Each structure stands twice: as structure tokens, then as C-alpha cells.
Structure 1
């Protein structure tokens, strides 16, 4: 007698459940761009979605408690001159988000607690380098203020956002970069390109460590680093069948696993949960979410189940583990963007009878604090991301952070003064970013990096502008008084007008006209006489 042994796994019974429509986000004009992006980014405080916008690119930012139907005139983040292609929340500050656009500019924004009350058009900093559209933005997992951007100019740039300077420039890709991903500690970088190759870089110097053919199909491919060092990829074969693979960095040419899924033509986005080693495959245009478990034993990638929905998805975002509800054994949460304007919330849950904290489901997860500064990372130091336990619940550490900052200031620097280096100010392409040092009141003759002479010049300019405004206001008041006086005289003169008769109609009409003209001339003279003293007084002011 033959029998089959069922593989033991605590995630074998994971199931997905969609929240009710009133608990989701409706009436959202999701972007219709054909760019292969998720169009959605989520963190424990906000939900950001790229939307259609006239006159430039924009995305909407919603607090998680603002569910239901979203007003058509809801404030947006709209400073780009072209459609927004990709957005990413900073993993070390839940109020900071980066966006890349067709206008070739990367912008970093700060969102106030509670969301937007009016449209935001002024970013914290503009990162200008790319010559063509920017379709990929990615934050470093452990280093503060380190951001990677990639554009259709085949360039990959790593920035220090706190100072606005370029740390590393990689120009070895022969074609458009489809995806990029750091490994667990940020010491390696994997990219996929339109030339069908996968490459592993040293991100500090831009040197290629290894490369190989990824998937043979001509459509977009994706690659991500797993926590234990392996690489998971998605793509297409020559027959346009979708497939995924698992590879070792030192043997990219020989996939450990290569599996064909189906013949759909939508790009698959692999969403990875490093705590549970689960991978969720979400295809653009699909109505399903497949999830797999990665294990050290063959066949290494184990299919678990499929979550089915009736509507296809245009994009999707995955909530960090900090935002999951541990009381209901929720291990993942997704935000699906449908074609009908609905952002549907999907909760992935492990069924458990006990209401106690399940330590086997929730190992220590990624914390909000950075493990090192950008200066430490570029100097060659490696540090794994900081982790913490969800047993006591999660409280955002940026909740009490002051948001009244100066434009272009290094508001992203959250590291303590004893452990972080102050970011030096730098200029790049005409854009300046100043470090956020607490020396504004020092007695060195400088206030926030501005000299006393500059302050005096600015004060004099403001005083002159105020004088001009007062002068114009007085002139406007005088003219308004003259207009009111003229309207009053015209009203009083109408009942006293002589009736028009057949015999003297022409003379009466002429006399009335002459009288009105004379009156108007006198009123104008009076208005001019009133305006001249006012101007004189303004000159004295």
C-alpha cells in the first residue's frame, strides 16, 4: 500500500479574507499608466496610491482610518510635471515617501501626521540626475537616508537623501532596468534588465560580481533577495509562459528551481515576508494571489494556496509586519487596486484557537529605526536591520516628531546625536540640502547656516514688500470709495430726470447727458485728488 506523507507546516492553512467594502477605499482614480509598477505603497500609518491627474503627476496619501468613499477633490501630493511611475515609503520614517516620475526627477516628501489637509506641492528635496523617466525607487533596508533610483536612461544612482548628494553611480546596464533589490544587510544589490540578464553588484562601488541569463522571455522580469541569501525571480520563457525560479548568488546560471505557472501576460510581482519565508505572487491583471513557502529542503519552493477574487488588479501593496494585527493571527495584509476605483484590503490569517500571542508566527520583525547612517554604510560597514518583538504591540516612534521643518532640511535624520554623524550640506544640479543640526541658537554669527548679512538683506526686502502692499491697499480703498460715490450719485439722479416728450426730447436728453458727463468729470477729479495725498503718505511710510 502506498501513501503520501503531508508536509508539516504551520502555514499550510493560511487563508485570505477580503474586508467589507465600507472598510476599504473607494472612488480612487488609479493611474492608467502602462508602466510595470505596483502603483501602491503602504506602511503602518498611511496608504499611498498613484492616481490620474491633469497637468502633471500625483499620488494620494490616506490615513488608514479614512475608509469608505474618497472625495473627488481630496488633497494630493502633486509636484511632478509628468505622471508618477513609482513610490516607496521610507522604512525608517513612516512620514517620508519618495516618488519617481516621467519628468526625470525624484522627489522626497514629508507627510504630516493625520494626512493632508491641502494639496502638497513642495517636496523636502529634489534629486536631479536622470535624463529620462525614473521608474524605480528603492530604500536601503538598514542605512538611514540611502535611496536607490533607476531610470530609462539605463542609469542606477544611490543617493544620500539627507544631503542630496550622489553616493554611487552605476552605468553598466545596456538597457532599461526592470527591478532592483538589496540583500538582507544591504551589502549586495541584484538587478534585472531588458537584456534578459540578472546581475549582482557591490552597491558601494558599482562593480559587477556576477551575471547570468535570467528568463528567456522578452517581457519584464523581477528579482528579490531572500533573507538567507538566495535569489527569487519571476519572468517569462520563450513561449510567453510565466515562470519563477530560485537561484544561488554564486551559481546564477544554474537555477535551483524553475517552474512554469500559466500563460497569462501580466508581470508578476514577488512580495516577500522575511519573517515567515512566504512569497506572494501577484500578477498585473490577475484576479488571484498565489503564495508559497521557501524551505531549505527540496523542492525548496512549496505551493500553499491561492486567494481568488472576482476583479482583476491593477496594482498591489503589502503592509509591513509592524502594521499587522497580531491578536487575530494576521501574518500579511494586502491592498489591491481594482479597475473600478476600489482599493480592496486582503487579510492573510493563520487559524488559531488561542487568543494569546503566537510567538511561532511572529518572530522579531523589522524595526523602524535604522541600524547605521549613510556615512557609515558608504565607508564599508555592514549592519543587519534592527528588529523588535510584536508581543507588546507596536507604537510608531515618529508620532511625536515635529513636522515644522525648513524646506530642504535634512528632516530624515532620526538617528540620535550620540550615534550618528551630522550630514554635511551639498549641492547637486542646483539643488541644496542642509543638515538638520540643532545649532540655530549658537552664538557663532550664523542661524541655520545663514549669515547675518543675508538676514539683514532679507529683512529689508520684506520691509519694502510690506510698504508696497500697504500703498496698493490704500490706493484700492480710495478707488473703491470713488466707485461707490459715483454709483450713489447715479442712483439719486435717475428719478429726477425730465420726461422725454416729442417737442423737447432731444434737448432734454442732451442736457441730461451733459450734466452726467460733467458730474462724472467732477467725480473723477475728486477721486484723483483723494489718491494723490494717499500716495504721498505712502511715500512717507
Structure 2
């Protein structure tokens, strides 16, 4: 049998929805016509685009704020028209960006305790598009670099800290359907209404490679993978949904392609860089498919699928540092459902052992960026900063938080520990808009004299939390030692 069945530790991964008491209820999910996920999550918050009477808004809830939504729950509501996409900053769990039909991109600061009142004043407002902004995505490794694309057929790369457009790419003859950073943060893959796939240099805007997309005129999407690979999804002229796997240095012919089904909805692609797994899920579907990627033929290996009871309206994908390592969770989705629910769903590898599983938890991307905005602009290419996932495993070590300065005018606590062990971020700075660009130095004034007392208090609170966790760990170790001694005595 071993000659016919491919060995993989992820062959038996299964989806397990949270119990009803851990579900977010009564959410007025937006009815906007968009192929975006409508939901974004990180280890602190879940954000959901909502329907609103006027303008555009989205909801931000703490992860433990489940249950029925308060009708007066404060929202982020600074856009003048419908919000189309939201994205959490990968290097600061309190920063989220949003884009809207009002042609703007806005960047918001969310305090650790969540919102106590409607948030209308953004940290930054980025003006540069002439039509509705369709989607946004943060650079995975460089600090404060964001891309956006709009119905004006432009793709813009922003320096969020200075509210300046670094690059405007005008090589698409039609509407851009999707855009994706590569893991190194120096290339962008796009799909377009002209059915062409493009690989673009993120600093110069030069088109490096072009390939033919799918035959159908429906939306097509691309996700950049590591090792100069990319995967695209779309449909043929006959309506069959497919995926195609590419070498980004030669997009003319895919390395492999395969039909999936005859569904009518467009897949969204979710990529786990650490385990090299790809998940495909679409709005309106009742299934989530997952595959494993290898750098040898046939490259893409089918694993399994998860079939929930209700059709999906949107999906949020949790960063690896927010997973429950003790439950052998390798991915977590926050699934929006028609009944106004946001249902967390864990993807779990079945294991009986209670020990840390090294084979399914390699080092994952840290919250720390690997380079500053200036370093990225000067052409630097640095590998991402990793964290050891064993620091998330109960009963081992506790990750020490690290302080770093932020280009958004605040000092941010960046920790590889779970969100509940992170210190609070500093209060917001005054917003700066792109209508009158300011220098980077002006956008980040010195605040040492003002912050001195507050940082001392923060450090004291942080030390108290760490001491409490150490005492809890000591108690756990003592309990385990007693249990072992009891078992040994019983065997004797």
C-alpha cells in the first residue's frame, strides 16, 4: 500500500468548527459585491466589513469577544462609501488598513482594549486613486509598505509612514483582479481582465514575466509562493474551475494544472509558507480544499477538503503565531455565514501525544519586520525574521517581548508570545494625509520626554505578567512531577 499512497503528515488534517458559545453572532455582514474575503484576523482581533446606512464601516472585535453582537457595538466608520477590503498589518497587531469605493485607503490604530466609541479619525489617509479601491495587501517583510489596486487600472505601492506613493504601476489594460506580494517582498504577481498573469518588480514597476491566464472571462486570482513559484486559480471557457502552478521566471507555460470542479464562484487562495500548504475557498461554496506544495513533479498534491453545513460569505486566515499549538492546530479560518455568524474553524492534525510536535510546527514568521522602509527602498533583500513556535506551547518557555519604533508615530510592543501576553501600544499620533505629503522625519516626531513615565509603567506591568506566567508554569511542572511519581509507584 505504501507504494500507492503518498506519505504526508497532513493527509488526515480535518476541520473542526468552534462550539456555538465561541461563535460571533448577529453580525450585519456587508452585502457589497466583491471577491474579497470580507474578514481579517490576527492574534488580537477579528475585523469584519459590515453593512451600514451611510458611508462604509467595519467591525473590530477582540478574539474573546464572542457571542451576540451588541447593537451599539462601536465600529470603524471613517469612509464615505462602502468598504471593500481590510488587512491587518503583519508587523503591528494594532494597525489595520481599509479601502473603499470613496477612492481612499485609510490606516487605523486599534487600542488593545478594542473600541469604546466609533472610530472616525484615521492614522493615515492615502489619496492617489481616481476610482474605487478594490483591494490592499501589506508587504510581508518590510515595515509600512502597502500595495493597493483600484478600478482606475492602477496599482500603487505606498510608504504608509510618510503617506507617500512610492510607485504607480500602469501596465494593465483592464481592471486588476488580484495582486499578491511574494514572500521576499520584492515582486508582485497580478491578474487582469485581459486574462494575463504578470510578475512585476515591486520597486521599479518593470514587468518581469507575462503568462496567459484562464479562458473564462470570470475573475482570476494569483498567490505568490516561496522558491519563485506561484499558483493561480480561474475557470476555463467550459466553466471548469482550475488551478495552475507556475515558475514566476517563465509564466508562459504552467508547470502543472488541474481541474477542481464546475463551481461558479472564484476561489480565494490562502498560503501557509511554513508548511507549504495551500487552501482554496470561495464565497458561496460549502467546501474548503487544501493541497501540499513540493518543488518536484507533480508539484501540487491533493490532501482533503472540509465541508461545512452553511455556504461561506467570507474567510479570515489567522497568522501562524496566533494558533493553538497545544491542540495541534495548523491553520484557523474565521468563516462568515449568511445567518450573520462568524464561525472560527480549526484545521487540526490528529495526534495523541501531548508533547510539542516539531514536524508540524517549524519556525514561523515573527511580528518583527526584517527591514525598514528605507532599507527596502534602497534595494535590500533580507529574509524574514522567524520565531520558534515552541514558545507558544504551554509548559515550555515564554517569549520575551521586544520593543521597536514604528513609522506611524508610536512605540509598538512586538512580541512573539500570544496576544494576551503583549504589552499595550502607545496612544495614536495625529493623522497625516497624502494631500500634503510630509517628510518621514516630520511624520515621526520625537516623544521621549512625554513617554518616559508611561514606558516605566508598561515595563512594570509587563514584568508582573511574566512573573505570574512563570509561577503558573512552576505549578504545572510540580503537578506533572507528582503525576509521574504516582504512575511510577503504581507500576512498581
Alignment TM-score, normalising by the size of structure 1: 0.76
Q: Partner residue of 1:197?
A: 196
Distance 2:212 2:219 in 1: 13
Alignment of 1:19-38 (within 5 A): 19-38=18-37
Q: Partner residue of 2:95?
A: 96
Q: Partner residue of 1:354?
A: 353
Contact 1:138–1:148 under 8 Å retained in 2 = yes
Deviation (angstroms), 1:311: 0.6
Q: Partner residue of 1:234?
A: 233
In angstroms, what is the RMSD of aligned CA positions?
Answer: 1.7
Contact 1:275–1:365 under 8 Å retained in 2 = yes
Tell me: CA distance 1:395–1:117, structure 2 relative to 1, closer, same or farther (3 Å). Answer: farther
Alignment of 1:204-215 (within 5 A): 204-215=203-214
Distance 1:71 1:38 in 2: 23
- Aligned match for 1:429, one of 432, 435, 454: 435
Q: Partner residue of 2:135?
A: 136
Task: Tell me whether 1:303 sits opposite 2:326 in the alignment.
Answer: no
| Greater strand share, structure number | 2
Tell me: CA distance 1:203–1:263, structure 2 relative to 1, closer, same or farther (3 Å). Answer: same
Tell me: CA distance 1:3–1:188, structure 2 relative to 1, closer, same or farther (3 Å). Answer: closer
Structure 1: gaps spanning 5 or more residues: 410-426, 443-541
Deviation (angstroms), 1:440: 7.0
Q: Secondary structure at the match of 2:261?
A: coil
Q: Secondary structure at the match of 1:293?
A: strand
Deviation (angstroms), 1:249: 1.2
Q: Write out per-residue CA displacement over residues 455-483 of structure 1, whole angstroms, 9 at most, x where no aligned residue.
A: xxxxxxxxxxxxxxxxxxxxxxxxxxxxx
Deviation (angstroms), 1:302: 1.0
- Aligned match for 2:429, one of 402, 406, 420: 406
Q: Partner residue of 1:379?
A: 378
Q: Secondary structure at the match of 1:97?
A: strand
Q: Partner residue of 1:245?
A: 244
Distance 2:291 2:108 in 1: 35
Deviation (angstroms), 1:403: 3.0
Distance 1:255 1:405 in 2: 47
Q: Write out per-residue CA displacement over residues 62-97 of structure 1, whole angstroms, 9 at most, x where no aligned residue.
A: 000001111122100000000000000000000000
Alignment TM-score, normalising by the size of structure 2: 0.84
Q: Partner residue of 1:460?
A: none
Contact 2:181–2:187 under 8 Å retained in 1 = yes
**Higher relative contact order (Cα pairs below 8 Å, separated by 6+ residues):** 2
Structure 2: gaps spanning 5 or more residues: 393-398, 402-412, 415-421, 451-492
Deviation (angstroms), 1:50: 0.3
Q: Rg: which structure is higher?
A: 1
Deviation (angstroms), 1:4: 5.0
Q: Partner residue of 2:446?
A: 438
Contact 1:103–1:132 under 8 Å retained in 2 = yes
Contact 1:168–1:204 under 8 Å retained in 2 = yes
